[in-house]
Amino acid sequence: MRKLVRITAEADILRAISLSEYAFQRKLSEEELEKAKLHYQKHEVIGITEGEKLLSKLNIIPFEVQIENCSMKMGGIAGVATWPEERRKGTVRQLLKASLNIMRENQQPISFLYPFKISFYRKFGWELTFYQKVISIKREQLTPLEQTEGFVRRLEKAKGPDEAGMLYDQFRSRHNGLLKRGADYWMTNILEDSVIPAVYYAKNGVPLGYILYTIKDKKMTIEELICIRHEARAGLWNFVCQHDSMIEELEMTVDPQDGIDFFLDDPKIKQDIQPYMMARITDVYSFLEQYPLRRHIEEPFVFRVSDDIAEWNNLTLKVGRHGVEAADEESAANPLMIDIQSLTAFLLGARTARFFYKAGRLAGSEEEVSRLDSTIRPQTPWINDFF
């Protein structure tokens, strides 16, 4: 008999790790295995079993993410894996539905995941929300910007969580979705062995920005660029240009709104915007209660939300600066009908209300849609972590 279980015992954790190794085609070393076991103990891991056999599993990782000016609990879905002979038998569907219940119980009103197939997770209410821009620049295009009075220093790995972490925390409020990173997370997930952190300091010694980069086979790869002021962007770029004798190519991963090309002498560079992570509101009432931009709503909106998977989200809600309350479905004036996916993407800033209105995924009066866009103006979404 098949049943849903929570995986906590070490023997069961080892079975789950073995399934992930097979599914993701990567055998862990002994050191990596010990680290994985520690990670699993911090995750909520659920699986479908039949007798002693684990058929499928899924990890829910507890995070905190920036949503406007507040920190919100988020459940990160990862490690979704099934033995090949058990695929297409509904086990992953069962796990995903169960994960929504668990995240609701854990007061995690939103969830992110990195999809192996976007269309699959859309069936369960997740929506494409985050993109990344990958920039490729040839050596001859590495021309310096204006000179700055500050300086750049490479950091020892142990100092990264303090120096770079402080700048990252200052930067988080500029985007929706950036994870809260503790010191341990920095050391184990961000500052891997080959990653070099370099910080730009103003003339007075105040840090203003950093890059995380690697150099291999005449290629520099910038994995993260965080700048508090343009001075740091110019200073870090000039630092990168000083590597022109060492590299043939520069590749940078930045947020989609990054405009480094505007400042270059030769802005004809390759820029590739790629879909990255998906998001989903798991508990719409709780999310809207915590959503900071709700306080901008003078005249309340009425949302009639539909959710095919999490039935508790099928609500008609009156949302305004003073709170969120249930509204009568029949008598509510000027309701806006929207599915959970579109609402998630709108509130996180991925798309406008008018975009969904034109796409037929938001229904209501055009005047109310315009008022929604003029009232709720989210920060742009971005996340640069992987889990």
- Which 3 state secondary structure label does DSSP give 325? strand
> What's the whole-number mean pLDDT along residues 84-105?
96
Q: Tell me what pLDDT residue 275 has.
A: 98
- Short-list 334, 333, 357, CA closest to 346: 357
Q: Tell me what pLDDT residue 13 has.
A: 96
> What is the C-alpha R_g of the chain?
23
Q: pLDDT category, 331, cuts 50, 70, 90?
A: confident
Please check the confidence at residue 76 and state whether its pLDDT lies above 90: yes
Q: Tell me what pLDDT residue 201 has.
A: 98
Angle between helix 10-23 and 30-42 (nearest 10): 120
Kindly provide the residue ranges of all beta strands, DSSP E only, lying in the chain, ordered along the sequence: 2-6, 44-50, 53-67, 70-82, 110-113, 127-128, 131-138, 151-154, 196-201, 207-216, 219-227, 249-254, 270-275, 278-281, 301-306, 316-320, 323-326, 335-339, 362-363
Note whether 276 and 130 are within 8 A (CB): yes
Q: pLDDT category, 88, cuts 50, 70, 90?
A: very high
Higher pLDDT, 331 or 242: 242
Residue 197: CA atoms inside 13 Å, Cβ hemisphere, count? 24
Please check the confidence at residue 254 and state whether its pLDDT lies above 80: yes
Question: What are the φ and ψ backbone dihedral angles of 185, each rounded to 5 degrees?
Answer: -65, -40
Please give the C-alpha separations between residue 322 and each of 225, 288, 314, 375, in angstroms, as whole numbers: 38, 11, 22, 15
- Single-letter residue type at 321: R
Residue 265: CA atoms inside 13 Å, Cβ hemisphere, count? 11
The domains of the chain, with CATH numbers, are 2-108 (3.40.630.30), 133-275 (3.40.630.30), 281-375 (3.30.1050.10)
Question: What are the φ and ψ backbone dihedral angles of 331, each rounded to 5 degrees?
Answer: -100, -5
- Short-list 216, 223, 201, CA closest to 248: 216
Please check the confidence at residue 330 and state whether its pLDDT lies above 80: no
> What's the whole-number mean pLDDT along residues 277-299?
98
> What's the whole-number mean pLDDT along residues 50-79?
97
> What's the whole-number mean pLDDT along residues 346-358?
99
Question: To the nearest whole percent, how much of the chain has pLDDT over 90?
Answer: 96
Please give the C-alpha separations between residue 383 and each of 36, 177, 352, in angstroms, as whole numbers: 23, 6, 19
- Single-letter residue type at 299: E
> What's the whole-number mean pLDDT along residues 313-326?
96
Please give the C-alpha separations between residue 101 and each of 105, 146, 159, 310, in angstroms, as whole numbers: 6, 53, 39, 8
Q: Tell me what pLDDT residue 327 has.
A: 92
pTM of this structure: 0.94
